[in-house]
Chains A and B, each alone.
Chain A
Amino acid sequence: MVSPIRIVHYVNQFFGGIGGEERADTELLVREHPVGPGVGIAEALGDRGRIVATLICGDNYFNERLDAARSAVLEAIERYRPDVVIAGPAFNAGRYGIACGEVCKAVTETLRIPSVTAMSPHNPAVPLYRRSTYILLTGESAASMPRILPALATFAHRLAVGDAIGPAEREGYIPRGIRGIILDEFPAARRAADMLKAKLAGEPYQTEIPVEVFQPARPAAPLRDPSTATIALVTTSGLVPRGNPDGFKSMNESRWTTYSLKRLSALTPDQWEPVHGGYDTRFVRENPNLVVPLDVLRDLESEGAIGRLHADLIVTVGVGTPVKTCLRMGEEIADELHRANVSAAIFTSN
């Protein structure tokens, strides 16, 4: 027989039997046995595992002294070496939900111990923590307790023994924002025709990719006086020193870097080359200034139309890179330009 798993269970002051709102300031208490909902979880587990400790915190204490509470809880959990941590269920209780989410996130990210909690989809903690842990779906109130405790017990056991967890809808947890590849029952062409038929008939259908509408970037205010400004050149055209010394990939790149433009009056094909799988680079190979107009910028600089050209060219290869990676690189590049007191950037693609 497989040895029983070790569980640490987190609850608030109310479910921990300490008291109601008046005891919400209670600091961490540890009981080395199941408490409250933990009794139901332990029962459902049977000899598959046991709750080796119940951690109890007041909701106000946890939310108002987040860093201290999190450290105290982590320290206690580490001491009991659990295979898995369960928090809640928190139903639709906001502060309790945050505490459960925070505990699960911390143990999973810091201690690398799997975790699971449970709450209503309307709990304000859901959008904050759904990416960090498994949140099983509950009703709005403790009325759904009898159904959810065995589910929590089984899910925790599966996490502890390393079972593969299936898609969110099938397994009953709130989607973590991770897209996984599976096989559907029907070929996609058939699903497309069926979905169109349903949509035309006004019947219900479910899109397979929920659309996230991106916020357009708000442009910065125009320069008051370009003749005093420092201008940087930023490009996603993949223009790199000849030989591609940093080994940029021609597609799906996630790095950016800087190359010095000091003492260069224009870019020449013997020193620069494009690495990019998304456009016809033959023209750039003959004249790199087509994608990084250093020649023109140097003219403007000597005419006094712009104050100064920033000393470094900022380069990445913009093709096939996922959106979040692009956002991350954009923020990093903006930081770099801020640090260098650059007042404006000319962004060229290809």
Chain B
Amino acid sequence: MQLDVGTFPINRIVFDHHTRLDDDILRINRRELIEMIQQDPCIERAEIELATPGESTRIIHVCDAIEPRIKVSGPGVCYPGLMGPVETVGRGVTYRLGGMAVVLSAEYPRLIETGVGAAHEAILDMSGPGALSPISSTLNLVLVLALAPGYSQGDYNRAVQLAGLKVAHRLAQTTEGRTPPLQRRYELPSVDTTLPKVVYISQFYTQLNLPAPYLTWYGMYITDWMPLWAHPNEILDGALIPGAVGGDAVRPSSWEYVNNPIIARLYEAHGETLAFLGVILHRTRFEVFEEKQLSANQAAKLAKLMGADGAIVTWIGAGNAFIEGMLTIQALEREGMKTVFVTYEHGGREGWEAPLMFTVPEADAIISVGSLDRPITLPAVERVIGGDELCLDPEAGGERVPAGGELRLPWRLPIASGIDHWGFGRLTCVEY
């Protein structure tokens, strides 16, 4: 599988009469894009705002962030199953707009009051201590969507996600007929057989019976799946992306999926220091322990069958889903494969609580990407995109507060993509 990804770095986004690419300036016709989105009856009103890294801006009600990618040649489309048929992707030529994202902001009505199906607030600061996410460092074109009353959460999710994907697609179309300033080939040719063979086990959580999917594979709602073998290029073409109900700290955005830095790193090392075999997609958060153990064993079995000597295991989510992470490490190590696990830590408010909530003795090589639990204060900002108010914990009777004021967060969960599950950044924890 050979995929050439051409990158058009974007340095500025400006409103204009025509949507077009002008070297590294993306000019957009706001009207055209809004009209395109507003065709969906679930969307009552749409606005487009721009947010630049470093400015005193806060985006609220963040649902997802999407990178504009388009299939130029080869089978299928980018974001397959949602934007086109489910042809196997990862081959041919894909163009992307680099350094930018289409950020979705929509406040869901509280159709589901509590539980994992409920929409939660997610905040994205473009500067200051809360600018923890890679999406705080991209030029963001924000779609602010007011949802029409009378639809289901599933309807809203589909409408919001498609609005983002369609706009991203329209923006990526501006690359048509142009030569990308940067180009990279992604393929996994046979390499020196003495190099250690490595798989990437990417764990993610979904749940049964949710009104809107947490995650889709080629547009298909992932429920209680056993581990699946994937080519990294399928992920680069957007085959695996989250739903659009809300992107809190433990649910990475679509932008992060297609830019997964573990995949990038293993590609760089392929043929140099190791042989990258491919990706095992591993659905976690099974309800029953035996199912967790089974899924861990199956992931290790796939890795073994593919001839792996070692694995990098990452996970997303909280609590429940972490168990599969540890069980997978144990299963891999017992099958003789060396593992490295990447995780965030707990540790409580001050950092003296246990960093991990479940462990196995085999987990002796762990990379920390910081802590979810430490409180963080987001300073007041000059500008808010997406609304005037937000509510952080409606279940606990939380009140609506002015969105632009100082926000004292008891932990980092409300920060959109606030946990760096796949290691874009340099955060870690050490002992004090």
Q: Which of A34-42, A71-79, A278-286, A337-345 contacts B (4 or more CB under 8 A)?
A: A278-286
How close is A271's CB to chain B, nearest CB, in angstroms?
A: 16
Instruction: Say yes or no: A187-B425 contact (C-beta < 8 A), given A205-B365, A211-B361, A323-B357.
Output: yes
Measured between alpha carbons, how far is A97 from B420 in the docked complex, in Å?
A: 41
* Given A249-B396, A274-B114: A168 in contact with B430 (beta carbons within 8 A): yes
Chain B residues whose CB sits within 8 angstroms of the CB of A167 once the complex forms: 430-432
Contact A281 B429 (CB under 8 A): no
A sample of 28 inter-chain contacts (CB < 8 A) reads: A176-B352, A177-B352, A178-B431, A181-B374, A182-B427, A182-B430, A183-B427, A187-B424, A187-B425, A188-B261, A188-B426, A192-B312, A199-B310, A209-B368, A211-B364, A213-B359, A213-B360, A213-B361, A247-B396, A249-B396, A250-B395, A278-B116, A278-B319, A280-B115, A319-B318, A322-B348, A323-B346, A323-B353
The 5 closest A-B pairs by CB, nearest first: A188-B423, A281-B115, A189-B423, A175-B431, A322-B353
**How far is B270's CA from A193's CA once the two chains are assembled, in angstroms?**
11
Q: Flag the segment in B1-9, B69-77, B175-183, B335-343 that touches A.
A: B335-343
Q: Is the CB of A199 within 8 A of B359?
A: no
Interface bin, chain A: 35 or more
Against B, the Cβ 8 Å flags (1 = close, 0 = not) of A204-224 are 010111011110000000000
Contact B274 A200 (CB under 8 A): yes
Asked if B312 contacts A193 (CB within 8 A), the reply is yes
Q: Which residues of B contact A238 (CB under 8 A)?
A: 114
With most chain B CB atoms within 10 A of its CB, the pick from A183, A279, A280 is A280
CB contact between B429 and one of A179, A250, A320 (< 8 Å): that residue: A179
Least CB separation from A209: chain B residue: B366
The contact string, 1 if C-beta is below 8 Å from chain A, for chain B 107-131, is 0000011111110100000000000
0/1 string, A144-166, CB within 8 A of B gives 1 = 00000000000000000000011
Number of A-B contacts (CB under 8 A): 246
B423 lies within 8 A of A197 (CB): no
Given A181-B429, A196-B198, A199-B365: 17 more A-B contacts, CB < 8 Å: A177-B352, A179-B351, A179-B432, A181-B371, A183-B426, A188-B261, A197-B196, A200-B310, A208-B430, A211-B364, A213-B361, A277-B114, A277-B120, A278-B115, A285-B114, A322-B346, A324-B348
Residue of B nearest to A205 (CB): B365
Return the contact of A325 from the options B210, B343, B353, B430 (Cβ within 8 A): B353
> How many whole Å from A348's CB to the nearest CB in chain B?
14
A148 to B117, CA, bound (A): 57
**Contact surface of A with B, Cβ cutoff 8 Å:** 131, 165-169, 175-193, 195-197, 199-201, 205, 207-209, 211-214, 238, 244, 247-252, 273-282, 285, 319-320, 322-325
The verdict on B193 contacting chain A, using a C-beta distance below 8 Å, is no
**B309 part of interface (Cβ distance < 8 Å):** yes
Residues of chain B lying within 8 A (CB to CB) of residue A176: 352, 431-432
Residues B423 and A277 in contact, CB atoms below 8 Å apart: no
* Residue in B closest to A166 when the chains form the complex, CB atoms: B432
Q: How far is the CB of A316 from chain B (nearest CB, A)?
A: 13
- Asked if B429 and A182 make an inter-chain contact with CB atoms under 8 angstroms apart, the answer reads yes
Q: Is the interface of A mostly helix, strand, loop or mixed?
A: loop
CB–CB B309/A200 < 8 A: yes
State how many angstroms separate the Cβ of A329 from the closest Cβ of chain B.
Answer: 13
Tell me, yes or no, whether B25 is within 8 Å of chain A by CB: no
Give Cα distance in the complex from A158 to B145, angstroms: 53
Neighbouring B residues of A212 by C-beta, 8 Å: 354, 356, 359
Contact A197 B430 (CB under 8 A): no
Contacts of B261 in A (CB 8 A): 187-189
Let me know if B357 and A195 touch, CB within 8 A.
no
A60 CB → nearest B CB, Å = 33
Q: Contact check, A282 vs B312: say whether CB atoms are below 8 A apart.
A: no
- Chain B residues with CB below 8 A from A182, complex form: 427-430
Whether A177 contacts B395 in the complex (CB less than 8 A), given A183-B426, A188-B426, comes out as no
Pair A208/B429 contact, Cβ less than 8 Å: yes
A85 and B68 CA atoms in complex are apart in Å by 60
Contact in complex: A249, B422 (CB < 8 Å): no
A186 to B424, CA, bound (A): 10
Q: Is B284 an interface residue (CB 8 A)?
A: no
For B345, the chain A residues whose CB sits under 8 A away are: 179, 209
Nearest A residue to B353, CB-CB = A322
Given contacts A167-B432, A275-B395, A278-B320, contact A192 B265 (CB under 8 A): yes
A277 and B366 in contact (CB under 8 A), knowing A167-B431, A188-B426, A211-B359? no
